[in-house]
Amino acid sequence: MNDRRYFRILSGAALVILLLFAAILLTLVVDSLPTMQAYGLSFLTGRQWNPVTQEFGALPFLVGTLLTSFVALLLSLPLSLSVGIVMGEYLRSPFLSKAMSVFINLLASIPSVVYGLWGMTTVVPLVQKLEIAAGFPPYGVGILSAALVLAIMIIPYMASLTSEVMKRVPDSIKDGALALGATRQEMVTGISLPYIRSGIAAGVLLSLGRALGETMAVTMLIGNATRMPNSIFSLGNTLASVVASQFNEAESDLHRSAMMALALILFLVSFLTNLIGRKIVGKSEAANV
């Protein structure tokens, strides 16, 4: 295969990807137009969601999505980094390293509905006890339960990427630090982690993207309340979960259009998160050069 034919094949594949992206975006925009025409920008700031009275506001679901995702990210970050550092720096045995890698990959491959069922039977009762102790209504389900399960679901993504970039730190740099009298802990925290900060940023953003778009487990655990959450113990909803739970039950064209508008918001939030993440990673990589 000559270079020109190879280039044409790659260009065709790239064009197909661009067309798919454009088709998805165009579909969401067109189907969202009735909602945008009816409510304008007030759709983004509205707090009421009542299909009976034709009142639709996206703010509670946007807040629920961001709150759930960022709480999950904060909860998973220490454990994910710890697992990634252990796998990338301390597990030198090929057998142990491979076994740990297989286990992490298995966690990533578990269907979200299984995580949801596990959360209902294990996490929800624990959260109920915590809510009783803290003086909150013992719903069990809510923002915190969904975030706890999401935190477990996104650990494999950040841990695997951290492990891979840890292994790419040049041995000469690590050996030089150890030769100068640094302990292994000081070498990891002072040399390896700053060197791989772009990889860590990429893992954080990959995990955040996974959390933003999660549907089934969140739908089962968040409580599906169409109101603004006021704490992590509140019932709530996310952009993805409300579309999944209500789309097939929509009784009017405006209701369906409103949910397509929610899907468009989720699409744009994910796109902007990825765009910002690429800029952060690019700056970190430039600083390492």
pLDDT (tens place) for every residue of the chain, 289 residues total:
566 776 677 777 888 888 998 999 999 999 999 999 999 889 999 898 988 888 899 999 999 999 999 999 999 999 999 988 888 888 777 778 788 888 888 888 899 999 999 999 999 999 999 999 988 889 999 999 999 999 999 998 888 888 888 888 888 888 888 888 888 888 888 888 888 888 888 888 888 888 988 889 999 999 988 888 888 999 999 999 999 888 888 888 899 999 999 999 999 988 888 777 777 666 655 555 5
Closest to 201 measured CA to CA, from 93, 60, 64, 80: 80
| pLDDT given for residue 227 in this prediction | 86
Residue ranges of domains in the chain, CATH in brackets: 61-288 (1.10.3720.10)
* Structure token digits, residue 283: 């700056």
Q: What is the pTM of this model?
A: 0.87
Looking at beta carbons, which pairs linking 280-288 to residues 24 or more positions away fall under 8 Å? 280/198, 280/201, 280/205, 281/198, 281/201, 281/202, 281/205, 284/197, 284/198, 284/201, 285/198, 288/195, 288/197, 288/198
| pLDDT given for residue 72 in this prediction | 95
